[in-house]
Amino acid sequence: MQIEFEFVNVLLLFLVIPLIVLVYRRYNSKNKESILKFSSLKIIKKSTKENIFRKHIPFVITVTILGLIIIALANPQIMTQSTEKGINLSIVLDGSESMAATDYKPTRLESAKKSIISIVSKMNSQNNVGVVLFETGATTISYMTPIKEKTTNSIISINQGQGSTAIGDGIVLGTDMVSSIPDKKRVIILLSDGIHNSGYVTPTEAITYAKNNNVQIHTVGIGSEKPVFLRNDIYNNPQYAELDEKTLQQISQQTGGNYFKSLNSETLEDILFTINSNIEYEWEHSTLAHWFIGASVMLLIVEIFIIYGRYKIAV
């Protein structure tokens, strides 16, 4: 277990402690000299042997408290796997014309819906989930909620669109969605099978917006091993579904997420299960400062007791 400090420079305050010890020693030396001028050496020696330890207890405790407070101010942290706070997850789904391709059964869109419903139903109750659908533009299908049944019902209602692919708009709307509830990790799972060719926001602008809002994006490319025919254009030339893996990789890499490529319905469900498992148990920094503050308070109570308590241990 490795401890890290958020504010390392605060630890420089430990340099003050040797100075405090030095001042304390000089103060006690002067007091000792004053006592020696007016007292019997025999009495002093006897008294010193009996009280030397008790005399310095309060100072030792005070210095210890000071050290604990300095450590607390530096905010010591350890890496832990925790689900206490939960996450805000926005599933940003491509609903463009190419998602009607039948290489995934019955279609890419229906296969994606089935896989998404499967992982949403298994998610921790502390997690909030919302859904964004994008094609020519982006729209909210389900607002952020911990009620998984509401989310799955909204996913079931999604219908196949005939529009283009506005990846940037989808990311921006998803970012706004996961940012709407504070104090939770913000994550987007983006599923797309096309090339960005529509919308008001470019993928580059959307990446910047997500990074500024501390949003992590995992991207899933939906494709096949061979080109998938869609339709003939107005000149009777065949049109195929194309996957822009480079852009999806760029989105995930720059936002701290991962890119996955799906080739069929089975791999798509496996990918989403893997992503869900990882974000459910994300490594996070957990502070230890409250432990040091608690120890300081306890020592302060002990110090008050030994100085002012019934038996006055320290005199």
Please check whether residue 208 is in contact with residue 168, taking contact to mean a CB–CB distance below 8 angstroms. no
Q: pTM, whole model, 2 decimals? A: 0.66
**Distance between CA atoms of residues 41 and 54, nearest Å:** 20
Element (H, E) at 134: strand 128-134
**For residue 166, is pLDDT > 80?**
yes
Predicted confidence band of residue 249 (pLDDT cuts 50, 70, 90): very high
**Distance between CA atoms of residues 185 and 79, nearest Å:** 15
Better pLDDT: 211 or 235: 211
**For residue 262, is pLDDT > 70?**
yes
Q: What is the pLDDT of residue 2?
A: 76
Q: What is the pLDDT of residue 32?
A: 57
253: CB partners within 8 A, 6+ apart: 259
The domains found in the chain, sorted by start residue, are 3-78+287-308 (no CATH), 87-281 (3.40.50.410)
**Distance between CA atoms of residues 166 and 139, nearest Å:** 11
| Candidate ranges 29-38, 83-92, 169-178, 236-245; pick with highest mean pLDDT | 169-178
Mean pLDDT of all residues in 126-143: 95
* Phi-psi category of residue 116: left, alpha or beta, with phi > 0 → left and psi -120 to 50 → alpha: alpha
- The percent of residues above 70 in pLDDT, for the chain, comes to 86
- DSSP-assigned states of every residue in 252-265: HHHTT--EEEE-SH
Predicted confidence band of residue 312 (pLDDT cuts 50, 70, 90): low
**Distance between CA atoms of residues 307 and 290, nearest Å:** 26
**For residue 49, is pLDDT > 90?**
no
145: CB partners within 8 A, 6+ apart: 128, 129, 130, 151
Predicted confidence band of residue 81 (pLDDT cuts 50, 70, 90): low
CA distances in angstroms from 256 to 145, 207, 261, listed in the order given: 24, 11, 17
Closest to 72 (Cα-Cα) out of 2, 1, 17, 14: 14
Q: What is the pLDDT of residue 47?
A: 52
Please check whether residue 286 is in contact with residue 81, taking contact to mean a CB–CB distance below 8 angstroms. no
Q: What is the pLDDT of residue 293?
A: 94
Q: What is the DSSP letter of 147?
A: -
Closest to 54 (Cα-Cα) out of 300, 314, 228: 314
Mean pLDDT of all residues in 113-128: 91
- Mean of all residue pLDDT scores within the chain: 86
**Distance between CA atoms of residues 151 and 130, nearest Å:** 7
Tokens in use for 175? Answer: 């970012």
Q: Do β-strands 76-81 and 3-5 pair in parallel, antiparallel, or remain unpaired?
A: antiparallel
CA distances in angstroms from 68 to 23, 236, 288, listed in the order given: 20, 77, 11
**Distance between CA atoms of residues 281 and 114, nearest Å:** 23
Predicted confidence band of residue 56 (pLDDT cuts 50, 70, 90): confident
